[in-house]
Chains A and B, each alone.
Chain A
Amino acid sequence: DGGITQSPKYLFRKEGQNVTLSCEQNLNHDAMYWYRQDPGQGLRLIYYSQIVNDFQKGDIAEGYSVSREKKESFPLTVTSAQKNPTAFYLCAGSTGETGELFFGEGSRLTVL
């Protein structure tokens, strides 16, 4: 089936550890996005990429890093520099034509 696949769905991390969230798509989307969702707040953009080997910071990029070595893959690393990493992370793709986003099922990160 076509779609956006995120893994893991749930992840626990100790303070001071880096963690990488996987996002893979087989929809042939050029554009991919990482959002963070916290209770009572709108989705906030962390990073986005519109083409392979290129990506741009979103509104809350500090403490995060990404790579886009392949069109299908857009992993997000949450580094120890991110002060409050516990959140629900959503990866999305878009053809860019209408702006409609297709989301993965999300990854819930909890820092212990």
Chain B
Amino acid sequence: QVQLQQSGPGLLKPSQTLSLTCVISGFSVSRNSWDWIRQSPSRGLEWLGRTYYNSKWYNEYAESVKSRITVTADTSKNQFSLQLNSVTPEDTAVYYCTRSVQWGAFDIWGQGTVVTVSS
């Protein structure tokens, strides 16, 4: 049974860096694609970015956060991470890590992390 367990701080101040980690159990991080998605009342569900392995590691990011985001994988810990720089209150949302299958549908989701950006 594949499971994703998220961890990371839930409260940040503006200009700080958001860092979340997603530990994978029951599946290898070197297979499939691993994505981050966030959800807020104002922006709805928003895909942020992904990492995947195909002879080497690749990344793909949403245009809306491309200048601020990094998604990385750690094969030794079988996990992947999100880093979002220079956060503002608009980055307040529930953040989810997910597994992507069938070219881009998200079949496994983490439990979600509520992230609040406030001074």
Q: Do the two shown chains form a genuine complex with each other?
A: no
Interface residues, chain B, CB within 8 Å of chain A? none
